[in-house]
Structure 1
Amino acid sequence: MNNKTIATYTLGCKVNQYETNAVEEIFTQNGYTLTDFDDKSDIYIINTCTVTSMSDRKSRQVIRRAKKNNKDAVVVVMGCYAQNDPDTIIKIDDVNLVVGTKDKNKIFDEVQKITNHDKVVRVTNIMDELEFENLSVTSYTKNTRAFVKIQDGCDRYCSYCIIPYTRGRIRSRNIGDIVREVQSLSDNGYKEVVLTGIHIASYGKDLKKSKDKLIPIINSQKDDFIQADISLIDVIEEVSKIKDIHRVRIGSVEPIIISDDFLQRLTKIEKFCPHFHLSLQSGCDDTLRRMNRRYTTDEYKNAVLKIRQYFDSPAITTDIITGFPGETQEEFEKTYSYLSDINLYEMHIFPFSRRSGTKAYDMKNQIDNDTKHKRSEKLIALANKNKNEFEQNLIGKIFDVLFEQKEEQYYHGYTKNYVKIHVKSENDLSGKLIDVRIIGFEDGRLIGELII
């Protein structure tokens, strides 16, 4: 009997979380027991992020924590930071194996070959990778919703972003594999799935073009789908056909994907969750051009208006970078005014982080940290105001809520448009999908009551 243990720690995005869960599943299927990262374990795996310099620093901090509870453990580092800078990571004391964003399904076999004294780097050129690495997750230990990775890589090359260099070319997952994984998750009791990837708006671009139509046959052989001129909307439609999946949610998308046809097809999918994370980054066209973002503020606004035309109370969220090189005070004020006008539900504000290897790293007119943070604080205040207004406008409305867990006296869960609701109940609501009327707003939280 195998009594060995594994502990993991994930930094960064939902794709990283999915990949960590997939690696965990490989180990547990081979007899390992999953333990907490701060407990004694035989193997520690850290899945790293490199989107900002802060991400690199946090990754190193977590790596150095790994062997505190077991000096004889094997430490594995994977993910985007490992892909981008393996030489730095392998020099960190106690790191035994470095794997990038490829060959994650080989980590288990690699670990069986090494000791806690070895120093092994298994990082290859990700730009040479042309096929999607098929991992699988059939269960999550702590979630009521399941993430399903459908795509990897990015070809947009925004001037500030290191991720295309760490994730490589666009690779789309076979739609049959996606459907089978979602079916397995449904069989294990999951009611909601989130389709995620590095750039899911590009799903299908790399697939072989054919005159054949998409043929859906669920739970059949591996060739049950013919990949033919398909895109993200086709994946959403096929996944939504699985009987016991009640909700289908999508990760971050670009405004380029928002068209009348796309939205019309979405409105016909009752299970679709109208939460759109539309990446913006700046509300000034001059800044967007320097960022190499391939849309204008007018195009973005039109996408927002279209979504609001097709859906009732959709939650539209975004990311904004402050202090991008060359961002004048006038450009920042344009961004502030623009964001005030379009009034999004949530905005994640980030001061610009200079990443070596990107075009923005060498740009002139870098902005000082003090200015970046002051601009961030101003936008955060606006974001909080917009969020409070959006949520208070929901009072009196009825939503179905998928409940997660209890916090103090309240169970919390999320509506289809990803608004967090708190409800008092003596009954266990975890994992249940129940209609709730929103009755108030207290201490920054929306309060609801069950409709029995």
Structure 2
Amino acid sequence: MENRKKVAFYTLGCKLNFSETSTIARSFEDEGFDRVDFEEVSDMYVINTCSVTENADKQFKQVVKKAMKLNNKAFVAAVGCYAQLKPEELAAVDGVDLVLGATEKFKIIDYINDLSKNDFGEVHSCEIADADFYVGSYSIGDRTRAFLKVQDGCDYKCTYCTIPLARGISRSDELNNVLKNAYEISKQNIKEIVLTGVNIGDYGKGEFGNKKHEHTFLELVQELDKVEGIERLRISSIEPNLLKNETIEFVSKSRTFVPHFHIPLQSGSNDILKLMKRRYQREIYTERVNKIREVMPHACIGVDVIVGFPGETDEHFLETYRYLNEMDISYLHVFKYSERDNTEAADMDGVVPENVRVKRSKMMRGLSVKKRRSFYESQLGSTRTVLFESENKEGYIHGFTENYVKVKTPWNPELVNTLHEINLTTIDTDGSVRMEFVAVEV
């Protein structure tokens, strides 16, 4: 047993990356590796990279440095989006031994020999057109919820985005396989599944560039709602043009889907949406939010917004700010635009100075704080169900209600991964909500 090798994982980026890291980790366990924390000394470190923002690129180098500090003889492998986009750049980072692109990352075991360090990082990447097959994945055992991948890649051509270059065309898992994975997760005493993908509303496109939808996203949601043993299902992020009224209505009446939607907007200006090559205008977004509020007044609605996009004048920015200020939404994820190689936007005129981008980002983040506070206040006095997380944070245990209100109560290990009916009472200084129990475990 003492000859068993140790492997540790670090994930940068999105929920989809977390689900894929977990699947890759299970392949190591199947080969006799022991998985350890990234903070521990390990024989091998696997870093699942992201390249959505400039910051994610910088983070990669810091993570490699951290691994080398723990064990300078450890074998370091990089996989994921950044590994596909800039393999040579990653391979040149001191300490990196192996870089695997989009088609190779799930075959990482095949590239591991005796874990001895390489003088130079070895690269195995592909033309992104070759990434036309689907590999299903889900995370398990990492958290109190599981991330279930149902779709990969994207056919959209948004002018700021590198994801189609990093992940290839839109393709989906077969419905039966998604249901099988959901059932497997349900057997692990995991209470919540988050559906994830690059563009999950586009669910149903087959492999090898087949554009025909075998099933729709609505059919996926309807079938998952029938899986026994799952208490909650959450839709991670869905494009406004692909979130249909039928899906919103189904969620409002479903057994397991929670009233929480995360819908990317990116800009509240139709001029900027056009420059971004988004597939909707602001009016569509308004319709979706109004529909959700009509059938689920208590729903949580999150918004992605990009500030400082080329051509965004002060007037455009204020148009977005006022639009979001007036909309009945619950929080924002704010992204400060950063130029990405090989994207249309990187060559556009009207570059917004960095200091202006920073200022706009601060204003939007301030609006997000205000919106979240307002949403939480609207929920005080209501009875909700909370799923408790596993971490002890300064003597408190936190959890989220079905409509994504963050609550806290004094630490009690028996509450971990349990669902309880609660009353929301007051907002604490840290922004979370205090609660009182209504009923024992649900």
- TM-score normalized by the length of structure 1: 0.92
Separation in 2, partners of 1:180, 1:394: 36
Q: Which residue of 2 aligns with 1:125?
A: 127
Q: Which residue of 2 aligns with 1:213?
A: none
Q: Which residue of 2 aligns with 1:173?
A: 173
Equivalent residue for 2:322, pick from 329, 337, 343: 337
Q: Which residue of 2 aligns with 1:46?
A: 47
The alpha-carbon deviation at position 418 of structure 1 amounts to: 1.5
Question: Is 1:65 aligned with 2:50?
Answer: no
Matches within 5 A, 1:385-396: 385-396=370-381
Listed one character per residue, the Cα deviations across residues 104-150 of structure 1 (whole Å, up to 9, x for unaligned) are 2210121136631263211111222222123455x323x11101001
Q: Which residue of 1 aligns with 2:196?
A: 196
Equivalent residue for 1:267, pick from 244, 252, 268: 252
Q: Which residue of 1 aligns with 2:309?
A: 324
- Contact 1:144/1:190 (CA < 8 Å) preserved in 2? yes
- Contact 2:138/2:147 (CA < 8 Å) preserved in 1? no
The alpha-carbon deviation at position 266 of structure 1 amounts to: 2.2
Q: Which residue of 2 aligns with 1:215?
A: none
Q: Structure 1 counterpart of 2:432, which letter?
A: R
Listed one character per residue, the Cα deviations across residues 402-443 of structure 1 (whole Å, up to 9, x for unaligned) are 111333343211111111111236572111111000011121
Separation in 2, partners of 1:129, 1:427: 44
Question: Is 1:239 aligned with 2:224?
Answer: yes
The alpha-carbon deviation at position 278 of structure 1 amounts to: 0.4
Listed one character per residue, the Cα deviations across residues 373-395 of structure 1 (whole Å, up to 9, x for unaligned) are 11111111111111101101111
Question: Is 1:435 aligned with 2:435?
Answer: no
Q: Which residue of 2 aligns with 1:146?
A: 146
Which SS does the other structure have where 1:256 is aligned? coil
Q: Which residue of 1 aligns with 2:32?
A: 31
Deviates most, 29-38 or 372-381: 29-38
Q: Structure 2 counterpart of 1:166, which letter?
A: A
Equivalent residue for 1:447, pick from 427, 430, 434: 434
Structure 1 unpaired stretches of 5+ = 211-226
Deviates most, 359-368 or 67-76: 67-76
Listed one character per residue, the Cα deviations across residues 4-28 of structure 1 (whole Å, up to 9, x for unaligned) are 1001111100111111111111111
Matches within 5 A, 1:358-373: 358-373=343-358
Question: Over aligned residue pairs, what C-alpha RMSD do you find?
Answer: 1.9
Q: Structure 2 counterpart of 1:164, which letter?
A: P
Listed one character per residue, the Cα deviations across residues 291-325 of structure 1 (whole Å, up to 9, x for unaligned) are 11111111111110011111131100011111110
Identical pairs, percent = 37
Which SS does the other structure have where 1:364 is aligned? coil
Q: Which residue of 2 aligns with 1:408?
A: 394
Q: Which residue of 1 aligns with 2:405?
A: 419
**CA spacing shift, 1:426–1:133, aligned 2, 3 Å:** closer
Q: Structure 1 counterpart of 2:371, which letter?
A: N
Equivalent residue for 1:230, pick from 215, 222, 225: 215
- Contact 1:325/1:364 (CA < 8 Å) preserved in 2? yes
**CA spacing shift, 1:354–1:426, aligned 2, 3 Å:** closer
Which SS does the other structure have where 1:178 is aligned? helix
Q: Structure 2 counterpart of 1:416, which letter?
A: E
Separation in 2, partners of 1:158, 1:257: 15
Q: Structure 2 counterpart of 1:167, which letter?
A: R
Deviates most, 279-288 or 398-407: 398-407
- Contact 1:209/1:229 (CA < 8 Å) preserved in 2? no
Q: Structure 2 counterpart of 1:163, which letter?
A: I
Separation in 2, partners of 1:345, 1:76: 39
The alpha-carbon deviation at position 351 of structure 1 amounts to: 1.3
Separation in 1, partners of 2:209, 2:82: 34
Q: Structure 1 counterpart of 2:145, which letter?
A: R
Separation in 1, partners of 2:136, 2:379: 40
- TM-score normalized by the length of structure 2: 0.94
The alpha-carbon deviation at position 48 of structure 1 amounts to: 0.7
Equivalent residue for 1:296, pick from 260, 266, 281: 281
Which SS does the other structure have where 1:257 is aligned? coil
Separation in 2, partners of 1:241, 1:296: 34
Which SS does the other structure have where 2:40 is aligned? coil
Which SS does the other structure have where 2:384 is aligned? strand
The alpha-carbon deviation at position 369 of structure 1 amounts to: 0.5
Question: Is 1:310 aligned with 2:292?
Answer: no
**CA spacing shift, 1:228–1:201, aligned 2, 3 Å:** closer
How many matched pairs? Answer: 434
- Contact 2:218/2:246 (CA < 8 Å) preserved in 1? no
Listed one character per residue, the Cα deviations across residues 66-114 of structure 1 (whole Å, up to 9, x for unaligned) are 2222222111000111100001111122211101222222101211366
**CA spacing shift, 1:135–1:264, aligned 2, 3 Å:** closer
Q: Structure 2 counterpart of 1:25, which letter?
A: R
Listed one character per residue, the Cα deviations across residues 48-72 of structure 1 (whole Å, up to 9, x for unaligned) are 1111111111112212322222222
Q: Which residue of 2 aligns with 1:374?
A: 359
Structure 2 unpaired stretches of 5+ = none
The alpha-carbon deviation at position 343 of structure 1 amounts to: 3.4
Separation in 2, partners of 1:55, 1:430: 31
